[in-house]
Amino acid sequence: MGKIYKAPQDLANASENNRLSLSPSIGKGYIQRVRLKSGIQLNIADYTLRHPVTMDLKPPFQPIGFGFRLSGYSRGYPAGEKTSRNFKPGQAGFVCFPDIEGLTITTGPERIVHIGIFMDFTQFCAFAQGETERLPFQLDNLSTGASIHEGRITPAMRDAIFQIFNCPYQGWAKSFFLESKVLELMAHKIGQIEAAGTRTPDVNPLPAQDVERIREAARLLACDLETPLDLNQLAQSVGMCRSKLHRCFRMFYGITPFEYLRNRRLETAMDFLMDGVMNVSEAAYAVGYSCPSHFTKAFKKYFGHLPSKNAVK
């Protein structure tokens, strides 16, 4: 395990609407907690660690949680649970742990971009106006036991997440805006649970050695977005054959190496556009797209809107 970093515990004990910037010795970026008018807690995180870090989180915990992970990988170890829980890029999750006594989270030196939404059971049921039978049947045992449902982040979810990270308002208007986007994300996830019909278990059947090789492959892809390694080169670099790399990568991340590379390219281009350092064409070329029109099409499919929406005028 990596170095123990106690700042997240400080965050849990801090006042509401606190934004914690990471120390340069730990990494860069921030973790922010916002208490919304409804009592829902919104956690917003965008940070990159310098080395693996293990964070011990203590009660009290809100038992109901929605998590949306745009990038980065973490592993959680709930106290009393026999198996760990994985947080992967592109993952939209719902969890209910009514009696959790502690949580240990280990995160690697990758950029973490994550939205977390937390509340108690009463608050959650209030959105069904007290009629718990209106909840999806997959959630009918929330008050009596743990429940986990996973899925992929959809374009609609991604658009709402983007708007949370880039809220255009301040003061009361910001509170109303964030509340509306949090409810929108919850609605998208509940709808996904209803559509799925069955629970997707969080099972990672890969040996630890293969997991490390897959994570190294992901790191190599993200290191050079403009001229990345092809699949054969990537497989050779991490000591796996091409077919095994492709299969294991998809098992671990839920997407292919090509899809992972595309997602990192588009997310990096989004950063360039939001920072105002590049226009749309420049951002496309910088992340490896030779044709701006192909970039625009991929960007819209991924984020739900055109890249020109994010370009600084």
What 8-state DSSP symbol labels residue 33? E
* Superfamily of chain region 3-196: Jelly Rolls (2.60.120.10)
Q: For the chain, give every residue range classified as CATH 2.60.120.10.
A: 3-196
pLDDT of residue 117: 95
Q: Angle at which helices 292-303 and 155-165 pack, to 10 degrees? A: 90
33: left (phi over 0), alpha (psi -120 to 50) or beta: beta
Class (C level, CATH) for 208-309: mainly alpha
The sheet carrying 64-71 orders its strands as 19-21, 27-35, 41-49, 111-119, 64-71, 91-96, 147-152
pLDDT tens-digit readout, 196-207: 754 444 445 678
Q: For the chain, give every residue range classified as CATH 1.10.10.60.
A: 208-309
Indicate yes or no: pTM above 0.95: no
pLDDT tens-digit readout, 10-35: 434 444 567 888 888 888 888 999 99
Give the residue-averaged pLDDT of 63-70: 90
pLDDT of residue 6: 47
pLDDT tens-digit readout, 179-236: 999 999 999 998 888 777 544 444 456 788 898 899 899 889 988 888 899 999 999 9
Residue 128 confidence class, pLDDT cut points 50, 70, 90? low
Burial 42-53 (b: 16+ CB within 10 A, else e): bbbbbbbbeeeb
248: left (phi over 0), alpha (psi -120 to 50) or beta: alpha
Token digits for 306?
A: 């055109």
